[in-house]
Structure 1
Amino acid sequence: MPWMYLVLAGASEVVWAFGLKHSHGFTEWKPSIIAVVFILISFILFSKAAAAMPVGTAYAVFTGIGAASTVIAGFILGEEISLPKIVLLLLLFAGIVGLKATTKDEEAGSDQV
């Protein structure tokens, strides 16, 4: 379940990132509210995941999913696509998959820090 929390947290980063962009420095209230709500959702989900796995892995995957998903959403919405960007995205995905493959979930409530 912690990995599902991370995926959802990373996906919610896409919403708040675009919300921040369209808030124009928090001068537009609708996108500002959307951004703040999804920031809260994102961090709540991240904290649930981090409670059950190593925090370094959780944070790297959380930010990686968010960054990659935001770049892909940007491509879909018309931002420039280039071969170097695609290669770097693939490297980012490889890192996320590698961290998933090499990380065991910790027992909830364990005494490990």
Structure 2
Amino acid sequence: MSWIYLIIAGISEIAWAFGLKYSEGFTNIMPTIFTIAGIIFSFYLFSKSIRDIPIGTAYAVFTGIGAAGTVIIGMLFLNETASLLKIILVLILLSGIIGLKLSSNDKEEDKGGAA
């Protein structure tokens, strides 16, 4: 369950990152509320995930999902530049996230639970 919390926390990091963009320095009220709620939700789930996942692994996965997702959404929907190099680097980042999951020896696995 901790990995599910962590993945959802990473995805919600993508949402609040875009909320920051549209909050215009916390002057636009609705995006500001959305952003603050997203930050709280994201960090709540992140804190639940680190009960069973080592902090180094969890933080790298959390920020990696947020970074990769934000870059991908920006390229697909916000007309940010997409280049072959940028796509390759995002794929490398995602490979690292998957590698961390595969090499993780978290407490859930030690307890015999599902990872």
- TM-score relative to the length of structure 1: 0.91
The equivalent of 2:67 in structure 1 is 67
Separation (CA, whole Å) in 2 of partners of 1:65 and 1:33 = 22
Distance 1:82 1:24 in 2: 27
Q: Which letter does structure 1 place at the counterpart of 2:104?
A: T
Match of 2:87 in 1: 86
Alignment-derived partner of residue 28 in structure 1: 28
Which ranges of structure 2 fall in alignment gaps of 5 or more residues?
none
**Alignment size in residue pairs:** 108
Query: Deviation string for 1:43-73 (max 9, x for gaps)?
Result: 0000011111100000000000111111111
SS at match of 1:27: coil
- Please show how residues 22-61 of structure 1 align to structure 2 within 5 Å: 22-61=22-61
Residue of structure 1 in register with 2:104 after alignment: 103
Deviation at 1:17, TM superposition (A): 0.5
RMSD: 1.2
Structure 2 CA distance for aligned equivalents of residues 14 and 54 of structure 1: 22
1:8 corresponds in structure 2 to 8
Percent of matched pairs sharing the same residue: 56
Using the alignment, how far apart are the partners of 2:21 and 2:45 within structure 1? 22
Misfit runs of 4+, over 4 Å: none
1:3 Cα offset (Å): 0.9
For structure 1, list consecutive stretches of 5 or more residues without a partner in the other structure: none
The residue matched to 2:104 in structure 1 has which SS? coil
Distance in structure 2 (CA, Å) of the matches to 1:9 and 1:76: 21
